[in-house]
Structure 1
Amino acid sequence: MRNIQSINCFYQQVLLVGTLVLVGCGGGSEKEIMPVTPVSPTIPTKASGTLDDQFTLWLTDLSNKVILPNYQTLETKAKQFSVSSTAFCQLDNAKASDLTELRVAWQELNVAWQSIQWLKIGPILQHNRNFRIQLWPDSRGYVVRDVDNFLLTQTTLDANAIAKSSVSGQGVPALEYLLYPTTNQDSLLSASNKSKRCEVMVAVSDNVTTISGDVLDAWQATGGNYIAQVIGGNGEFTGVKDAVEEIVTNWLEQVERVKDEKMLLPFALTAPGSPSAAEFYRSEQSLVSIKTNVLSFQQIYSAGGGHSFEKILVEFLGQHTIAAQMNDSITGAITATEALSGLYTELLSSDEGRFIIDNNIQKLRVLRDVLSIDFIQATDINIGFNSNDGD
């Protein structure tokens, strides 16, 4: 009975906590206790400011942690390839290993470009710089036409001469054509016109270095300071929201481009597909390019690990579900690319390979849908005209 009485006493005390008088149990006397101050539960506070303030934080980190570093890498890799091509062409008896090293330098340049290929605002659009770095798709063979014309030119070509020519022969695809010829007789190791091929390659590579350097300088605060326009939502933008809308439109267009042009076109209706429609079928760098593109989507969303869209969705807008959908769709797309191994031509020609490619296409469709519907509704932004819109 004493135990029961003690338990009853305990519950009575719990019920009476916060009052000034506690009635004793078992015939005890009244006992005065001090009032207890209730402890309020910790409630997560919403991020302060406006949605434009949140967008400004995202634009700031995207510019400083993603865009500028990628343009810096592009310029660095362009310079490195330019130096490597000049050194190769000065060799009296270049070996296969020398050509392999040069090709690796080109591959690194291409990866640097693919990391920032998605962005189509500001300096990269001026003077047709984006097309001068890469004209693609090139269904009419303009790259081959222009490079072949360069090779027939009697006058000495340099970067200035290349810069004044048609855009199709100025960039990364032109270099691929020179590095990965269809026949051995056109190889940089043994071609009868090797010196002319080297001249063209060095001129084109110097041109790419100039273009990438001009774009970087235009973005930097010490140069054209385009970064200030993006972060401030001024200049060519009507506001911060407009800057975000332009960039998200670029992002969506790249998702569509990877899905439609880089995968669906080569996939075709049946095996063996259309390998020559791939972005870099000569060098077999198409899959590497696709993987790099898809990884860039995470960089955009996360602002390079800075003030991410996820933070805006969860902490400011309270859109936990949309944030989860975005994370899942981006992760799903990246995970799917891990199976894109080997040669693209082999994947396109086998049932297993085509299943892998189709899975990647489906994952990109999911990302496209979440990004173009749920995400823009949650963030109250409007996307512009999507030149790659399709199924």
Structure 2
Amino acid sequence: MLHPVRLTLLTFSLLLAACSAPDPQTRTSSALAQHVFKPAYAAWAVSSQQLTGSAEALCAGSIELDAARKKLLVTQTAWAALQPLQLGLITEGNRSWQVQFWPDKKNLVGRQIEALLDKTPQPGQNDLEQASVVVQGLSAYEYLLFDPAIDLSRKADKERYCTLLVGIARHQKLLADEVFEDWEAADGIASKLESFPNTRYADAHEAIADLLRAQVTGLDVMKKKLGTPLGVQSKGTPQPYQADAWRSGGSLGNLAAGLASAQQVWQGEPDNGLRSLLDDSQQPLARQIDQAYADTRQQLEMLQQSLTELFASDRARSQLQALYSSLDQLHRLHERDLAKALDVQLGFNAHDGD
């Protein structure tokens, strides 16, 4: 039998441990911030830094155009992975538009780049910072590297476009660094997802609601990036040049990256995502969302060509429609059923009606 003093100390220790253990929502919010969101923003910052080195090397003649193109694809993928993870500075001050201008319904990217260079043949960094978001981001960078009318392996094209190419890459690096620093800062967004209350969230439930809103908005954007070129919003008429990365052929790869991030938010690393917040009575919904991810991933893996190439085949277009339907179901399960299960009011989506 334990001595009374020891029994009292043991009881006190157990009570203290119980009081200090984080509640499930705090645990999930903190884990997602540290193991899903923060690493994804770090990867984007690293890829943006490498993009700058690639642009400078291409224009100096020390790497080939193909190598620079591959580096852009890496950066595009890193950005696409952030679609369901957009919290903090990236959602403020038009920063996401500065990274990617989409949809480009009237070829504004090409037209504004050419107009800028006609007016200012060698734009300085300040000229770019004062310019439209249309010419500041990855869509503009993609135009310079992949548009059929431009060949940066030619001397004349290097002279016309290289200053802008390097400027865009440097702008992307500065922007990505600024956003990531907000995740790392002592009072940054990550810290606000880890302990409560704070200046952003009154409690963990508010943080979980914000994480789910980012997830739902990201899935909606991904759905529209597929649906728009498919013609979902244009009475079934395909709009292949409305794809988010049609020049580079990276559209489906970007979708895969975003889907992988969304599944990480759902599943966690390893099992501390939004799924872990569902109780025993909600496990049928959990299994339904698990299956929806599996179905969407399977549909996507079946498509081995670029989106533009797939439009040439009736069978492939049918596969794309099946992928869209699967992604739509996945989005609706989060927006409607998961939000209800977690008692989250999603409110207005800034992308509604796009």
- Per mean C-alpha deviation after superposition, the further-off stretch among 160-169 and 171-180 is 160-169
Alpha-carbon shift at residue 164 of structure 1 (Å): 2.3
- Asked if 1:240 is matched to 2:210, the reply is no
| Matching of residues 101-250 of structure 1 within 5 Å | 101-154=67-120, 156-183=122-149, 186-190=150-154, 192-222=156-186, 225-232=188-195, 234-250=198-214
Spell out, residue by residue over 1:230-271, the C-alpha distance to the aligned partner (whole angstroms, 9 max, x if none). Answer: 333532334322222222122112222222x22222112788
Q: 1:130 is matched by which residue type in structure 2?
A: S
The size of the alignment, in residue pairs, is: 333
Partner of 2:238: 273
Give the CA deviation at 1:361. 1.2
TM-score, with length taken from structure 1 = 0.79
Asked whether 1:65 is paired with 2:35, we answer yes
CA offsets 1:190-243 (integer angstroms, 9 cap, x no match)? 262422311110011000000000000011135x52211233353233432222
C-alpha spacing 1:196/1:241, structure 2 compared with 1 (3 Å):
same
Alpha-carbon shift at residue 277 of structure 1 (Å): 1.1
Compute the displacement of 1:133 (Å). Answer: 0.7
CA distance in 2, matches of 1:151, 1:390: 34
> Which residue in 1 is equivalent to 2:253?
288
Whether the 8 Å contact between 2:90 and 2:96 is mirrored in structure 1 is: yes
AA partner of residue 375 (structure 1): L
Name which of 287, 304, 307 aligns with 1:324. 287
Q: For the Cα contact (< 8 Å) 2:263–2:293, is it kept in 1?
A: yes
Following TM superposition, by how much is the alpha carbon of 1:304 offset from its aligned partner in structure 2, in angstroms?
3.1
Q: What does residue 355 of structure 1 align with?
A: 318
- Within the candidate set 33, 53, 65, 1:99 is matched to 65
Per-residue deviation, residues 304-325 of structure 1 (Å, max 9, x unmatched)? 32412222214xx542211111
In 2: Cα distance, 1:232 partner to 1:359 partner: 42
1:3 match: none
Distance 1:191 1:268, change over 3 A: farther
Match of 2:5 in 1: none
What amino acid sits opposite 1:359 in the alignment?
Answer: A
C-alpha separation in 2, matches of 1:247 and 1:382:
12
8 Å contact kept, 1:273–1:349: no
Is it true that 1:369 corresponds to 2:335 in the alignment? no
Aligned amino acid, residue 306 of structure 2: L
C-alpha distance in structure 2 between counterparts of 1:286 and 1:389, whole Å: 21
Equivalence for 1:262: 225
| Corresponding letter in the other structure for 1:57 | R
Unaligned runs of 5+ in 1: 1-47
Q: Structure 2 CA distance, aligned partners of 1:309 and 1:168? A: 35
Higher relative contact order (CA 8 A, sep 6+): 2
Match of 1:335 among 287, 295, 298: 298
Equivalent residue number for residue 15 of structure 2: none
Aligned residues: CA RMSD: 2.5
Superimposed CA distance per residue, residues 338-383 of structure 1 (whole angstroms, 9 cap, x where no aligned partner):
0121121232232210121111111112212321222122222221
The answer (yes or no) to whether the contact 1:271–1:348 under 8 Å persists in 2 is no
Are the counterparts in 1 of residues 28 and 274 from structure 2 also a CA contact under 8 Å?
A: yes
Query: In structure 1, what residue type is equivalent to 2:29?
Result: L
Moved runs in structure 1, 4+ residues, more than 4 A? 269-272
State which of 42, 51, 62 in structure 2 corresponds to 1:81: 51
Residue 256 of structure 1 contacts residue 390 of structure 1 at CA under 8 Å; is this kept in 2? no
Pair 321,292 (structure 1): closer, same or farther in 2 beyond 3 Å: same
Match of 2:270 among 299, 305, 308: 305
Given the alignment of the two structures, is residue 253 of structure 1 paired with residue 223 of structure 2, yes or no?
no
**CA contact 1:73–1:112 (8 Å) conserved in 2:** yes
SS in 2 for 1:298: helix
State the shift of 1:153 in Å: 4.1
Q: TM-score normalized by structure 2? A: 0.86
Report the Cα distance in structure 1 between the residues aligned to 2:295 and 2:353, rounded to whole angstroms.
21
- Structure 1 residues 118, 369: CA separation in 2 closer, same or farther (over 3 Å shift)? closer
CA distance in 2: counterparts of 1:65 and 1:232, whole angstroms: 16
Does residue 378 of structure 1 match 2:341? yes
2:83·2:222 contact (CA, 8 Å) conserved in 1?
no
Kindly provide the amino acid, as one letter, of the partner of residue 180 in structure 2.
L
